[in-house]
Chains A and B, each alone.
Chain A
Amino acid sequence: MEIDKPISKPSGAEPSRLDAGGEEGSPAVAGSAIEFRLDPSSGMPTYLQLVQQVEHALRLGYLKPGDQLPKVRDAVASLVINPNTVLKAYRNLEAKGLAAGRPGQGTFITATLSQAGLPELTGLRRALSGWVVSADAAGLDDSAIVALFTSVLRDFRERHDSSAGRPDTADGGEAERVA
């Protein structure tokens, strides 16, 4: 997944944070700090891809609280996806408390993601490296390692989320129907 850096767009009022310090006198740019991109080969539902891209951007610092997410019509026009998909992704972010919609203006980031602290990350990284070494020694190649990891992760999620009550599963079964 990539996050594209913003290119100046003719619409919108807020200067992008990453363009601060650009040329003097350049007009106010960019409606949104990020552009979405779809990965058609990933098995993940589109709206989840959008949610993940926003979360990834938050983690990497491309998005900070107060930044505006792409307008629905802009995302629709560039990705050629159903508007409801974008709306669903934004509702998902709202439900997670990461974003909020302002009527007539758009959707804006309201919080950051809590991160694991740096020492935890280092420890996790070391444990994972050890596991990869064992897997490699057992004769698994790269795609076998990834398949095994993905399968375990999915099982974990299913068990974890079904017991937590409100599924936010990777298979996209967000239960918003009226039964």
Chain B
Amino acid sequence: MNVIEASGLGKRYGGTWALRECSLTIPAGHVAALVGPNGAGKTTLLNLAVGLMAPSAGSVTVLGGLPAGSLAALDGIAFVAQDTPLYKNLSVADMLHLTRNLNRRFDDRYVKGRLDDLGIPLPRKAARLSGGQQAQLALSLALARRPRLLVLDEPVAMLDPIARHDFMATVLTAAADDGVSVLLSSHVLAELERVADYLVLLSHGRVQVAGDVDDLLACHRVVTGPTAQADRYSEGLNVVHARRGEAQVHFLVRTNGSADPVPQGWEAHPVGLEELALAYLREPGAAALPGPARGDDAQLSAAMR
């Protein structure tokens, strides 16, 4: 089942397209990271997926074909927006009661146990909780609904490192225990490599990269070698991004996955997720989307031999 399927999805504000021609299939059972610089369209995409916005073009379905925003979709998706909106003058107990009333499923025991572990007292007003506690409360309420998909919009941007650690531990434990699929957006790449196993890279409103993290890392590598031979060697390669020095050049290339040997004097290194994402973000024309490109790579590598 695909938790998110977007087809030509686009959203326009006035004359500007915040998101364009976005086609995605995010499979279930993954922790998917939606990554991109500020203004890339991450929040727009998430809002479209949870039904807070209607698309200007294309369509998006969730949880295996349900229309985004329909009652069945709302039932199965829990969303925590940026800045974790809570009713500030309600107490924690009131927020629990509220969420219980507004949803079909609510695991009271789970959420009370969580809040107990976190030391969040039930009678306290939500406004008097710390930022980390508010985030944990919002997350606990979302998970108490027993959703199939948890959507988080920049959940840890405002949290200190400890709160960030605890928050993500909660998310991942829920994913491990209950099989909740997770889609979270972030503009901080460094921590995502441990956490995410599916990556969607958005830049200027378009999807640049989408795929399973293991596959992406297997399909890319950095080859390093002398600048003098750079042009000749790079002809047969699908170079995503090049960094040239006086004597040495690094090419981040996209392969078809096989570990082809490099010529004498060149070295191949594996590439990390952050390096990969940064390289694509610096090259707006490059894209790594699941689909046809693999065939081209095979022809190119064959020609190169």
A/B contact in complex, CB under 8 angstroms: yes
Residue from B30, B169, B269 in contact with A171 in the complex, judged by beta carbons closer than 8 Å: B269
Stretch at the interface among A7-15, A56-64, A69-77: A69-77
- Return the contact of B176 from the options A43, A76, A158, A171 (Cβ within 8 A): A76
Is residue B259 contacting chain A, with contact meaning CB distance below 8 A?
yes
Asked if A101 CB lies within 8 Å of chain B CBs, one says no
Instruction: Check if B129 is an interface residue, CB within 8 A of chain A.
Output: no
A169 to B172, CA, bound (A): 27
- Per the bound structure, the CA–CA distance linking A34 and B19 in Å amounts to 47
For the complex, count residues of A whose C-beta is within 8 A of B: 30
User: Given the interface contacts A82-B31, A84-B30, does A172 sit within 8 Å of B217 by beta carbon?
Assistant: yes
What chain A residues lie within 8 Å of B195 (beta carbons)? Answer: 80-82
Mostly, the B contact residues are helix
Q: Which residues of A contact B168 (CB under 8 A)?
A: 80
Asked if A173 and B176 sit within 8 Å, CB to CB, the answer is: no
A44 to B: closest C-beta gap in Å: 9
Tell whether A171 pairs with B257 under 8 Å between CB atoms, given A73-B173, A80-B165, A80-B169.
no
Residue B221, interface by CB 8 Å: yes
Contact B176 A38 (CB under 8 A): no
Residue of A79, A84, A170, A174 touching B197 (CB-CB under 8 A): A84
- Judged by a CB distance under 8 angstroms, whether A134 is at the interface is no
Contacts of A172 in B (CB 8 A): 214, 217-218, 270
A84 to chain B, nearest CB (A): 5
Q: Mark A162-178, 1 if CB is under 8 A from B, else 0.
A: 10000101111111110
Instruction: Chain B residues near A46: list those with CB within 8 A.
Output: 193-194
When C-beta atoms are compared, the residue in chain B nearest to A178 turns out to be B215
| In contact, A81 and B269 (Cβ under 8 angstroms) | no
- B196 x A173 contact (CB < 8 A): no
Cβ–Cβ < 8 Å partners of B217 in chain A: 45, 172-173
B294 to chain A, nearest CB (A): 8
Decide yes or no whether A83 CB sits under 8 A from chain B.
yes
Task: Name the residue on A nearest B172 (C-beta).
Answer: A76
Contact B257 A173 (CB under 8 A): yes
Verify B194–A175 contact, CB threshold 8 A. Answer: no
Chain B residues near A84: list those with CB within 8 A. 30-31, 197
Q: Does A92 belong to the interface (CB within 8 Å)?
A: no
Residues in A neighbouring B212, C-beta threshold 8 A: 177
Q: A38-B194, A80-B169 are in contact. Are A175 and B175 (CB under 8 A)?
A: no
B194 and A80 contacting across the interface, CB-CB below 8 Å? yes
**Cα distance, A45 to B30, chains bound together (Å):** 18
Contacts of A86 in B (CB 8 A): 176
Report if B231 contacts A (CB, 8 A): no
Q: Of B177, B193, B194, B270, which one neighbours A173 at CB under 8 angstroms?
A: B270
* List of A residues within 8 angstroms of B215 by Cβ: 177
Is A85 located at the chain interface by the 8 A CB criterion?
yes
Taken residue by residue from 142 to 166, chain B's Cβ proximity to chain A (1 for < 8 Å, 0 otherwise) reads as 0000000000000000000000010
**Contact in complex: A83, B221 (CB < 8 Å):** no
Interface centre among B172, B217, B257, B272 (most CB of A within 10 A): B172
Return the chain A residue nearest B255 by Cβ.
A173
- A176: which B residues are within 8 A, CB to CB? 214
Interface of B toward A, CB cutoff 8 Å: 30-31, 165, 168-169, 172-173, 175-177, 193-197, 212, 214-215, 217-218, 221, 257, 259, 267, 269-270, 272
Can you list 29 A-B contacts (CB < 8 A)? A38-B194, A43-B272, A45-B217, A46-B193, A46-B194, A72-B176, A73-B173, A73-B176, A76-B173, A76-B176, A78-B169, A79-B194, A80-B168, A81-B194, A82-B31, A82-B175, A82-B195, A83-B31, A83-B176, A151-B267, A158-B259, A169-B259, A170-B270, A171-B270, A172-B217, A172-B270, A174-B214, A175-B218, A175-B257
